[in-house]
Amino acid sequence: MTGSAPLSTPFDAASTAAEVAAGLDLTGRRAVVTGASSGIGIETARALAAAGAEVTLAVRDTEAGQRVAKEITGTHPGARLRVAPLDLSDLASVASFGAGWEGPLHLLVNNAGVMATPELRTPQGWELQFATNHLGHFALTTALHPALAAAGGARVAAVSSVAHLDAPVDFDDLHFQRRPYDPAVAYGQSKTAVVLFAVEAARRWADDGITVNALHPGAILTNLTRHYDSAELAAAIATRGYTFKTPEQGAATSVLVAASPLLDGVTGRYFEDCAEARRHTPGIRNGVADHALDPAAASRLWQVGLDLLG
């Protein structure tokens, strides 16, 4: 993030993934979309495939992934889709996905996520939202780094959330062993970690030609919110001044960040509604928190990830 005005594009909150992808020719590009069996991930994969990319749907449930691949091929008969198993909360599964990847990878969309799940921890005892939303994607992206570097000009889109505004990373209690568990704070912390990951990866991988940006897709009714009380959710959305988008609109910023030439060379930034977000000011609808762009926290989190993953 520079001191200059935030980067804008001809697209906005109402734009759809198809509109952002229109005119793009991604023929010959290989893309991975995590969590592409549901919600925003489906529409991200659809738009990238429609633009000619070969898209791997990296999913926990491969039967669901196959159903989505079939449905996308129905709407776009030329779509080139693969389905591969990936469970981000299981490091062996992430390692297996990374080891199985052959050749360059041009576009990686770290889209999968969980929110306020009934299960709170992984078998290692890690807080599940942090482990899935951040650590799993950290492990995946670092495992795929050679493939990204080999692509020349690869892009990583890291799907965060406006919820990052609610919680910096608490380095003294990442897994809620000292403080009472609060699912919303845990989700917010995990999404701050996603932005910090983008900041640090952008810095580390600039010489490899890899750009890494984070984004908030908007508020979209998907399976994500199924563990949440709907009245509580609607109130939280209204308090923030948001209205709901469709999944097609929700995928627009992911497609912009992953593939649009409008963002060539742009790295380490945070986008929302198809534009770079302003620094957050309390009381104003959107923005990115200072705690999510802090280079010292980004560097520290990277080391924490390496230590946790061994």
Ligand X SMILES: NC(=O)c1ccc[n+]([C@@H]2O[C@H](COP(=O)([O-])OP(=O)(O)OC[C@H]3O[C@@H](n4cnc5c(N)ncnc54)[C@H](O)[C@@H]3O)[C@@H](O)[C@H]2O)c1
Which residue out of 187, 228, 242, 270 is catalytically annotated? 187
228 is annotated as an active-site residue: no
* Residue 35 found at the interface with ligand X (CB under 6 A): yes
Tell me the number of residues near ligand X by CB under 6 A: 27
| Residue linked to tokens 């776009």 | 76
* Residue 164 found at the interface with ligand X (CB under 6 A): no
Which listed range, 23-31, 86-94, 172-180, 276-284, lies at the site for ligand X (CB under 6 A)?
A: 86-94
Supply the minimum distance, in Å, between the C-beta of residue 102 and ligand X.
Answer: 21
Which listed range, 15-23, 201-209, 211-219, 287-295, lies at the site for ligand X (CB under 6 A)?
A: 211-219
Which listed range, 107-115, 175-183, 197-205, 302-310, lies at the site for ligand X (CB under 6 A)?
A: 107-115
Q: Where are the alpha helices (DSSP H) in the chain?
A: 17-21, 39-50, 62-75, 91-100, 128-129, 137-143, 145-151, 183-205, 230-239, 247-250, 252-259, 290-293, 295-309
Instruction: Compute the distance between CA of residue 242 and CA of residue 285 in angstroms, rounded to an integer.
Output: 8
- Site map (CB under 6 A) of ligand X, residues 214-243, x = contact: --xx-xx-xxx-------------------
* Residue 39 found at the interface with ligand X (CB under 6 A): yes
- Interface residue with ligand X among 112, 174, 198, 256 (CB under 6 A) is 112
- Interface residue with ligand X among 19, 54, 87, 200 (CB under 6 A) is 87
Instruction: Compute the distance between CA of residue 153 and CA of residue 125 in angstroms, rounded to an integer.
Output: 37
* Cα dihedral 9, 189, 105, 70 sign: negative
Supply the minimum distance, in Å, between the C-beta of residue 86 and ligand X.
Answer: 5
Q: Between the CA of residue 60 and those of 37, 93, 226, what are the distances in Å?
A: 8, 9, 17
Q: Which is nearer to ligand X, 29 or 216 (CB)?
A: 216
Q: Which is nearer to ligand X, 32 or 52 (CB)?
A: 32
Is the CB of residue 41 less than 8 Å from the CB of residue 35?
A: yes
Instruction: Compute the distance between CA of residue 124 and CA of residue 90 in angstroms, rounded to an integer.
Output: 10
Question: How would you classify residue 246: left for phi > 0, otherwise alpha for psi between -120 and 50, otherwise beta?
Answer: beta
Which residues are bridge partners to 158 per DSSP?
A: 110, 214
Which listed range, 10-18, 73-81, 113-121, 285-293, lies at the site for ligand X (CB under 6 A)?
A: 113-121
> Buried (b) or exposed (e) across 83-100, using 16+ Cβ within 10 A?
beebbbbbbebbebbbee
Instruction: Compute the distance between CA of residue 43 and CA of residue 16 in angstroms, rounded to an integer.
Output: 9
Q: Which is nearer to ligand X, 7 or 84 (CB)?
A: 84
Catalytic residues: 187
| Chain residues that interact with ligand X, rule: CB under 6 A | 34-35, 37-41, 60, 86-89, 111-115, 132, 159, 161, 216-217, 219-220, 222-224
